[in-house]
Amino acid sequence: MSTRYSRQELFTPIGAEGQKKIRQAKIFILGAGALGSSAGEMLVRAGVGQVTIVDRDIIEWTNLHRQQLYTEQDVVDQLPKAVAAKQRLAAINSDVEVKGQVVDVTPDNVLNMIEGYDVILDATDNMETRLIVNDAALKLNIPFFMGACVGSYGLTFPIGIEKNQPCLHCLLEMMPLQTMTCDTVGVISPIVVTTAARQVADVLKYITGNPLTPALVSADVWSGDRASIDVRSLKKELCPSCSASAVYPFLTAKHSMQTAVLCGRDTVQLSWPKSRPFELAAVAVSLRGTVSKMVYNPHLLACEYGNHRLVLFRDGRMLVHGTKDIVVAKKIAAELLG
Amino acid sequence: MTKTIQLNGKTYDVPTEVQSVQQLLIHLQLAERILVVERNKKIIAKEAYDKPIQDRDQIEIIHFVGGG
Ligand SMILES: [Zn+2]
Helix residue spans in chain A (DSSP H): 6-10, 15-24, 34-46, 72-76, 81-92, 110-114, 127-140, 168-171, 182-185, 189-207, 280-287, 326-337
Check whether B65 has a pLDDT greater than 60: yes
% helix / strand / coil in chain A, to the nearest 5?
35, 25, 40
Check whether A255 has a pLDDT greater than 70: no
| Residue A1 located in a structural domain | no
Nearest CA in chain A to B46: A173
- Residue closest to A102 by CA, chosen among A55, A32, A52: A55
Q: Which of A31, A216, A226 sits opposite B68 (nearest CB)?
A: A31
pLDDT at B34: 87
Q: Of 3.10.20.30, 3.40.640.10, 1.25.10.10, 3.40.50.1820, which CATH number belongs to B3-63? A: 3.10.20.30
- Which helix (H) or strand (E) segment holds residue A216: the answer is strand A215-220
Domain stop point among A202, A218, A251:
A251
| Residue A49 located in a structural domain | yes
Which CATH number characterizes residue A300's domain? 3.30.310
Q: Compare A282 and A194 and report the one with higher pLDDT.
A: A194
Tell me the pTM: 0.84
Cβ–Cβ contact B32 with A under 8 A:
no
Tell me what the pLDDT averaged over chain A comes to: 91
pLDDT per position as a tens digit, A328-338: 898 888 778 87
- Chain B positions touching A149 (Cβ under 8 A) are 65, 67-68
Q: How far is the CA of A226 from the centre of ligand 1 (A)?
A: 25
Q: Which of A149, A176, A195 sits opposite B34 (nearest CB)?
A: A176
Residues of chain A with pLDDT > 70, as a percent, come to 93
Residues of chain A with pLDDT > 90, as a percent, come to 72
Parallel, antiparallel, or unpaired: how do β-strands A226-230 and A292-296 relate?
unpaired
Q: Compare A335 and A82 and report the one with higher pLDDT.
A: A82
Domain membership of residue A25 as a residue range: 6-251
Q: How far is the CA of A144 from the centre of ligand 1 (A)?
A: 13
Q: Taking CB atoms and an 8 Å limit, are B65 and A147 in contact across chains?
A: no
Parallel, antiparallel, or unpaired: how do β-strands A153-159 and B10-14 relate?
unpaired
pLDDT at B43: 95
> A81 with A147, same domain?
yes
| Residue A61 located in a structural domain | yes
Active site residues of A: 182
pLDDT at A178: 47
pLDDT at A174: 58
Band of residue B40 on the pLDDT scale cut at 50, 70, 90: very high
Q: Taking CB atoms and an 8 Å limit, are B64 and A176 in contact across chains?
A: yes
Check whether A275 has a pLDDT greater than 60: no
Q: Taking CB atoms and an 8 Å limit, are B64 and A171 in contact across chains?
A: yes
pLDDT per position as a tens digit, A24-39: 999 999 999 999 999 9
Q: What is the mean pLDDT of residues A246-271?
A: 81
**A65, A228, A235, best to mutate vs chain B, most B CBs in 10 Å:** A228
| Residue A114 located in a structural domain | yes
Check whether A110 has a pLDDT greater than 90: yes
Band of residue A287 on the pLDDT scale cut at 50, 70, 90: confident
The rounded distance, in Å, linking the Cα atoms of A265 and A32 is 16
Q: Compare A248 and A278 and report the one with higher pLDDT.
A: A248
Q: Taking CB atoms and an 8 Å limit, are A181 and B60 in contact across chains?
A: no
Q: Taking CB atoms and an 8 Å limit, are A173 and B66 in contact across chains?
A: no
> A72 with A193, same domain?
yes
Number of structural domains in chain A: 2
Q: How far is the CA of A242 from the centre of ligand 1 (A)?
A: 4
pLDDT per position as a tens digit, A201-216: 999 999 999 999 999 9
The rounded distance, in Å, linking the Cα atoms of A138 and A134 is 6
**A66, A155, A193, best to mutate vs chain B, most B CBs in 10 Å:** A155
Q: In terms of C-beta density within 10 A (0-12 exposed, 13-18 middle, 19 or more buried), how is residue A81 classed?
A: buried
Band of residue A177 on the pLDDT scale cut at 50, 70, 90: very low
pLDDT at A181: 61
Check whether A256 has a pLDDT greater than 90: no
Domain stop point among A224, A251, A278:
A251
For the CA atoms of A9, A15, A20, A26, what is the dihedral angle to 10 degrees? -80
